[in-house]
Structures are given as structure tokens and as C-alpha cells.
């Protein structure tokens, strides 16, 4: 996996607390929705895992405001759970297991890869 985190803050005085921040040009409500259910968004949890961060948040940048949106779950536990799940999924892929296709209708309506995942056929089975 590859990614590029936008910002890492390290507490200078009295400790080594780490906070990871990822900037998004997306409204805060959408970001809160992405983080509502543990494991639905893996990006922030993966960054928190790599940096052993105690805090993590998306930074919503809108026209006239900037809002930090943190996951409602404990960041360290969320990071550990996501990594454990990803390791399991990768092991399944390496062993040849067929994995289900995922797709949010909001994104799928614009996707150029519909022919590969054949989402329109999912409900026909």
C-alpha cells in the first residue's frame, strides 16, 4: 500500500504524542459519515498505525471554513483493527480467494470501470 500523509504533528514538550492530519476538499458532514462506522475508511487508520498516532483527523477545507473531523472511535484501537483486517484480506487474496466487489452508488455512477466489476449484474444473482 502507498499513501502520502499531509501532516504529522509531534508534541515537543513533555511527551511524544503524535497526531496525523489529512486535508480533504470535502465538507465536514461527508467526512463524519465516512468515519462513522469503524473500518469503513481505512486511510486515516493506516496513517495512524504507521505513525503510532494517538490522534488522527481529516481536515475539511471548505470555501469559508476549516474543520477537523476525527473518528469517534479510539484511534489506536481503530488502527490496530484495520491493520488486522487488511492483513487477513491480503492473505485471502494471496491464497486465491474470490473477494466481493464493493461500490458506493454515489461513486459508481461516474466510474469508468463498471465493465470490470459488473455492478449492474450484482442484483441479478
pLDDT tens per residue, the chain (125 residues)? Answer: 788 899 999 987 767 799 999 999 999 999 999 999 887 888 999 999 999 999 999 999 998 899 999 999 999 999 999 999 999 989 998 999 876 666 666 767 777 766 666 666 655 54
pLDDT attached to residue 16 = 75
> Number of structural domains, the chain?
1
Per the domain annotation, does 111 fall within a domain? no
DSSP assignments along 7-50, one per residue = EEEE--SSS--EEEEEEESS-HHHHHHHHHSTTS--HHHHHHHH
Quick check: is 119 in a domain? no
Residue 1 lies in a domain: no
In a domain, 116, yes or no: no
Q: Quick one: pLDDT at residue 76?
A: 93
Look at residue 125 in the predicted model and tell me its pLDDT. Answer: 47
Domain containing 82: what range? 7-100
- Answer whether 20's CB lies under 8 Å from 44's CB: yes
Residue 37 inside a domain? The answer is yes
Is residue 42 domain-resident? yes
Please indicate, yes or no, if residue 118 is contained in any of the structural domains: no
- Looking at residue 73, what is its pLDDT? 94
Give the span between the Cα atoms of 34 and 49, in whole angstroms. 18
Is residue 109 included in any domain, yes or no? Answer: no
Closest CA to 79 of 54, 41, 48: 48
Task: Output the pLDDT for position 41.
Answer: 87
Amino acid at each position: 500500500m502507498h499513501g502520502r500523509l499531509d501532516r504529522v504533528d509531534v508534541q515537543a514538550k513533555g511527551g511524544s504524542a503524535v497526531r496525523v492530519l489529512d486535508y480533504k476538499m470535502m465538507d465536514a458532514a461527508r467526512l463524519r459519515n465516512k468515519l462513522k462506522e469503524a473500518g469503513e475508511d481505512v486511510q486515516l487508520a493506516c496513517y495512524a498505525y504507521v505513525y503510532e498516532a494517538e490522534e488522527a483527523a481529516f481536515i475539511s477545507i471548505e470555501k469559508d471554513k476549516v474543520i477537523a473531523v476525527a473518528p469517534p472511535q479510539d484511534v489506536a484501537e481503530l488502527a490496530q483493527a484495520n491493520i488486522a483486517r487488511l492483513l487477513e484480506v491480503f492473505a485471502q487474496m494471496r491464497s486465491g480467494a474470490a473477494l466481493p466487489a464493493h461500490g458506493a452508488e454515489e461513486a459508481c455512477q461516474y466510474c469508468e470501470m463498471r465493465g470490470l466489476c459488473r455492478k449492474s449484474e450484482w442484483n441479478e444473482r
